[in-house]
Structure 1
Amino acid sequence: MIDCWQPPTSAMEASLDLENQQMMEGSSQTLQIDRRSARFPCCIVWTPLPVISWLVPFIGHIGICREDGVILDFAGPNFVCVDNFAFGPVTRYLQISKAKQCHINSQQSAYDADDQCGQDEIGRDACTWDDALRKSTQEFQHKSYNLFTCNCHSFVANNLNRLGFQSGGWNVVNLAAFIFLNGRWVSKASMVGTFLPFVVVFGLGIMFGGWTFLTFLAFFTFVLVGWFLLGTYCFKNLIQL
């Protein structure tokens, strides 16, 4: 009778642990993005604003999505849009890894969680993704909308800080820069649709206005960007989060 060789017990246990880990990771993967149905699970989403984005194309409207991909965006006084992005279809998005980039408990469903979330060791709300979004939505449903002091970027920054995304510290300025530099285009058509109005307005402005138009554009951009820089870093209570 020939004895069959068996791997060491420790090796078998390690193999089983690896298989279990892979199964757990596979079962908790984020839902797939569906561009046609406007479903962007655990994403920050962006779209250009009429008129403003025609002059300053890196400024637009922003929202954040639930785990099922439904978009939430702060679009008016005491009003958070659900599954109806206020200024048109999504043109850019950035998906967030809950497990690697956020300090949340991803093992519990948001709708089964208690209303009161615990706190982790660094004092952040230890909620699920949807719990955090629900709490921010409830908060902003009692806030007045103002383009210059409490806008869609304030809402998304509030959500990201509540989620502990990349250790928090989000505001309207670094959020706008983050999505502009790291966001992915939904399609080539969305990229063209974002920059084409700016190119047309800029071309017509140069043709008919010359240096007067360039001076106006530079002044408008300087005032708009300067306001948010001052309101964020110099007068910290001016822009709400």
Structure 2
Amino acid sequence: MEEQVDSDRQLMMEGGFTAPHSMDIDPSRNRFPCCIVWAPLPVLSWLVPFIGHVGICREDGIILDFAGPNFVCVDHFTFGPVARYLQINKDKECGISPHSSALKGDEEYQDDEPRRESLTWDEALRKSTMEFQHRSYNLFTCNCHSFVANNLNKLGFRYGGWNVVNVALLLLLKGQWVSKLAFFRSFMPFVVVTGLGLTFGGTTYLFFLALFAALLVCWFLLGTYCFKNLINL
């Protein structure tokens, strides 16, 4: 039996194949295969805790996030450890090739590309990454949520139609916390800042905080659904 396994493994290596990636989540190594990930943003998340930085992960769990003008960060989540994540079942929820990119060698990938009707997970992410490496970053018009939405649309995740608003809502409603400590780290600054604001500003602080949050929400709602060319995807 062991000889048969070794023989199969040898054939895969000789044919340019590698073993499929594990889908296990490993926060200690910052590996989140086929996940959307979220982390709080300095200052902004202290005021409005549902605002954060997002990225999307390759099949091997490495995080990709749009971190600045013409720059997609690889394997180094820009604003610290992942706090929330949502793992996607790429075989059931995406309109991509059922074959993992880990099962193809580089030569076969290049030879076969013109004939394929659908991309694998990593190929879709590669295309989005190349696209955003030539884009300017703007918090209000082209940000990390734009990058993730672009990836999800290329993946055909739940038939597409993703934008900055429904990506944010998806993580807010469906995302899982990495740990209780991650939850605490995400909300503790908000609690402290709100406490200080109420102590020194009272209801005036609450009014301006609510106004700030409402303006942000309105901007992205209007830019996404009313002025569709305003926010890039």
Report the TM-score, using the length of structure 2 for normalisation.
Answer: 0.86
| Aligned 1:176-215 pairs, distance under 5 A | 176-215=168-207
> Which structure is higher in helix share?
2
Match of 2:109 among 101, 109, 113: 113
Deviation at 1:118, TM superposition (A): 5.8
8 Å Cα contact 1:118-1:127 kept in structure 2: no
| Cα separation, partners in 2 of 1:192 and 1:132, compared to 1, 3 Å | same
Match of 1:161 among 142, 153, 158: 153
Letter in 2 for 1:53: S
Question: Is 1:83 the counterpart of 2:79 in the alignment?
Answer: no
Letter in 2 for 1:148: F
| Cα separation, partners in 2 of 1:182 and 1:76, compared to 1, 3 Å | same
**Corresponding residue SS for 1:36:** helix
8 Å Cα contact 1:44-1:63 kept in structure 2: yes
Report the TM-score, using the length of structure 1 for normalisation.
Answer: 0.83
Q: Which runs of 5+ in 2 are unaligned?
A: 1-18
% same residue: 68
**Corresponding residue SS for 2:29:** coil
Deviation at 1:106, TM superposition (A): 2.5
Q: Which has the higher contact order (CA 8 A, sep 6+)?
A: 2
Letter in 2 for 1:179: L
8 Å Cα contact 2:223-2:231 kept in structure 1: yes
Q: Which runs of 5+ in 1 are unaligned?
A: 1-26, 121-125
**Corresponding residue SS for 2:39:** strand
Question: Is 1:216 the counterpart of 2:212 in the alignment?
Answer: no
Quote the Cα distance in structure 1 between the aligned partners of 2:144 and 2:59: 19
Letter in 1 for 2:120: T
Q: In the alignment, which residue of structure 1 is the partner of 2:63?
A: 71
| Aligned 1:101-180 pairs, distance under 5 A | 101-109=93-101, 111=106, 112-114=108-110, 116=113, 120=117, 126-180=118-172
| Cα separation, partners in 2 of 1:193 and 1:210, compared to 1, 3 Å | same
Q: In the alignment, which residue of structure 1 is the partner of 2:31?
A: 39
Q: How many residues align?
A: 210
Quote the Cα distance in structure 1 between the aligned partners of 2:84 and 2:180: 11
